[in-house]
Structure 1
Amino acid sequence: MTGFPPQSAPHARAPGRVTIASARYYSLPTSFALALPLIGALGVGFLYPVSKLIALSFSEGTLAQYQRIIAEPLHISVFLSTLEVAMGVTLASLFLGFPVAYLMVRLRKGRAMVVAACVFIPLWTSVLIRSYAWVVLLQRNGIVNNLLTDAGVTDAPLKLIYTHGAVILAMTHVLMPFMILPIYSALRALPADYVRAARNLGAGALRAFVAVTLPLSLPGVFAGSVMCFVLALGFYITPALVGGPGSMLIATLIGQQTIVLLDWPFAAALSTVLLSVTLLFVLLFRRALSFSKGLNNVN
C-alpha cells in the first residue's frame, strides 16, 4: 500500500462542460448560448436605439445638424457649461464623499450602520422629490433665506435658486452615494496590516494615509468619479427644477428640441455628441486608472 491517498473517481461531465481542478469551464458554444439573452437585451435596448439615433442625425445625408452645433455659440456654451457643472459635481462628491466612506470603514458596526443608512436612504427617494426639496430650501422665501434674514445676516433674501451653484449643490446631494459606495468598497478591501506596518515603520497617521490608504483607494475613487461624471453629464430633472432657464445644460437643451421645437434630427445630433463626449471621458478615466495601477506596481 502506498502512502498516497486513493484517487477519487472522476465526476461525470455534462455535455459541453469541462471540469478542471474544481473549476467549471464551459465550451464556446455553451458560453455563447448562456450569454445570448444578455446579448439580445443589449442589442434591443441599447445598440439598436443608439444606431437609430445616430442615423437620424444624418437624416439629410449631410453634416448639417452638426454644423448647426458649431455655428451657434449658444450650443457650444451649453456644452461647456455642462462639462463645468459635471466636473464641479464630481469634485464636490469626491471631497465630501471620501471622508464619509472612510468613516464608514473605521467606525464600529452599529455606528457604521447608522452612517450607511444616511447614505442609502436618499437612494430610496425619488430624484424628483429630492430636487424639489432643494427648491423649497433655496427659493426666495425658503427656509435658508428666512434663517439668514431672521438671524440678521442679510437684509434681503439672496438669489440662491436658479444658479449654477444651486445646480451643483443639488446634483452633488443626489449623486454623492454613487461616489461613496465604490470608495467604501475599495477601503473595505484594504488590509489593516498595511497601515499598521507603515505606522510601525515610523510613519504618522497622515503619512500612512497619504502613502498607503489613498493610493490603494484610487480604483474606488476612479470608479465613483466615472459614475458621478457620466450621470451628471446627462442629468435632466435636477437642472430643470433647480437651475431654471438661466442654467441650461445639454440634457435640458435636448429635451427642449424634442418636446417644444420637435426638431428630432438636431436633438439626435446633440445626443450623439453627448454620447461621444461621455465615451471619451470614460476611456480617459480608464486610461488614468491603468496608469495609476502601473505606478503602484512599479513602486
Structure 2
Amino acid sequence: MNAVSRRSLSSWWLRLHHGRSAKSYPPAVSLLLVSPLMALLIVGFLYPVARLVQLSFTNGGEPYARLVRSGLYVGVLTDTILISATVAILCLVLGYPVALAMARLRRPVALLVAACVFIPLWTSVLIRSYAWVVLLQRNGLVNDLLITVGLIDMPLRLLYTHGAVILAMTHVLLPFAILPIQATLRSLPADLTRAASNLGATPVRAFLLVTLPLSLPGVFAGTLLCFVLALGFYITPALVGGPNSMMMATLIGQQTLVVLDWPFAAALSTLLLTVSLVLVAVFRRALAYNKGFSSVH
C-alpha cells in the first residue's frame, strides 16, 4: 500500500470516528445511536408488513381476484375513503379556529382551551364512542330533546348511519388536527401580522396572505394524520355505525375473527395500506406544488 492510499485510509478512519465538526456526531456513533430504532422498525413494522403481503399471495393471488369480482368490497373501500376524507376536512375546519385561539389568546384563557382539547384526548376511545351511542340512540338525549321542544313526533334514526360515524370519528380525531396546527401557529412570529397591518392589510387579508400560507405545514400534518387514522379506525365505526356503515377495518376484523379467512384479510389490509400510501404521496405532492411543504422541490 503506497503513501497516498495510507493517507486516504487514515483520513476516512478519522472522519468515521471523529466526525467533520464538533457539532455533529461521528458516523460510527450515529449508526450506533440509530441502530435500536432501526431494529425496532424492522421487527415491529417492516417484517410484519412483509409477512402480511406474503400471506395475501398464499393462494396465488386469489384473494385479490375475489376483491375485483365482488363490488361489495370495492364499495366498502370507497365508503372508507369518503368517510375518512370527510372526517379529515371537518377536523381541519373545526380545529383550525381552536388552534388559532390556543396560539393567540392570553395564557389563562389559552390554558383553558388547551384543557378542553387534552381532557377528551386522555379519555378512552371506547368510552367516547359509547357516549355517542347513548346520545344518538332512539331513546337517547338527542331524540328526547327534539321531542321535548316539539321539533319531531317520533324518534329519528340517528344511530347506525354514516352521519353518526362521521360525527363520532370527528369528535375523537379532532385533537390530532388541533395540536399540529397550534404548534405551527405558535412558531410564527407575531411581527409578520403586524407588518402586514402596517402596510394596509385588513385582519382578514393578513390572515389569508400571511398566517394561513405559513401554517400550511401544520395543516398538512394535522389533516393527513386525521385521514390516515380514520382509514384504520375500528372501534368507533363498529359501535356507532353497525353493519350498515361498515368500513375496511371492520371488514378486516370480521374476516380475521369471524370468517377466519386470513389470506383474504391480508389482501384487504395490503390494499388499504397501498391506498393510504398513494393518497399520502398525492396529498404531499399537491401541497408541495403550493409551496406549503418546503422539503419537496
Q: TM-score, normalised by structure 2?
A: 0.91
Q: CA RMSD in A?
A: 1.8
- Contact 2:214/2:292 (CA < 8 Å) preserved in 1? no
- Contact 2:99/2:179 (CA < 8 Å) preserved in 1? yes
Q: Name the CA distance, whole Å, in 2 between partners of 1:26 and 1:178.
A: 36
Q: Which one of the candidate residues 82, 91, 94 is aligned to 2:92?
A: 94
Q: Name the CA distance, whole Å, in 2 between partners of 1:257 and 1:120.
A: 35
- Partner residue in 1 for 2:264: 266
1:238 aligns to 2:236 (yes or no): yes
1:212 offset after TM fit, Å?
Answer: 0.6
Q: Name the CA distance, whole Å, in 2 between partners of 1:103 and 1:261.
A: 48
Q: Tell me which amino acid in the other structure corresponds to 1:48.
A: Y
Q: Tell me which amino acid in the other structure corresponds to 1:16.
A: H
1:282 offset after TM fit, Å?
Answer: 1.5
1:259 offset after TM fit, Å?
Answer: 0.6
Q: Name the CA distance, whole Å, in 2 between partners of 1:73 and 1:293.
A: 39
- Partner residue in 2 for 1:18: 19
Q: How does 1:147-158 map to 2 (within 5 A)?
A: 147-158=145-156
- Contact 1:17/1:24 (CA < 8 Å) preserved in 2? no
* 2:150 counterpart SS class: coil
Aligned length: 282
Distance 1:47 1:188, change over 3 A: same
Q: Which one of the candidate residues 83, 102, 108 is aligned to 1:110?
A: 108
- Partner residue in 1 for 2:283: 285
Q: Tell me which amino acid in the other structure corresponds to 1:45.
A: G
Q: Name the CA distance, whole Å, in 1 between partners of 2:127 and 2:245.
A: 20
- Partner residue in 2 for 1:50: 49
1:295 offset after TM fit, Å?
Answer: 9.4
1:200 aligns to 2:198 (yes or no): yes
1:78 offset after TM fit, Å?
Answer: 0.2
Q: TM-score, normalised by structure 1?
A: 0.91
Percent of pairs identical after alignment?
Answer: 61
- Partner residue in 1 for 2:10: none
* 1:180 counterpart SS class: helix
Q: Tell me which amino acid in the other structure corresponds to 1:205.
A: P
Q: Deviations over 1:46-96 (max 9, x none)?
A: 011111100000012x22110111110100100000011001100110110
Q: Tell me which amino acid in the other structure corresponds to 2:79.
A: S
Q: Deviations over 1:175-208 (max 9, x none)?
A: 0100000110111111111111111111111111
- Partner residue in 2 for 1:37: 36
Q: Name the CA distance, whole Å, in 2 between partners of 1:187 and 1:44.
A: 36
Q: Name the CA distance, whole Å, in 2 between partners of 1:111 and 1:191.
A: 20
* 1:23 counterpart SS class: coil
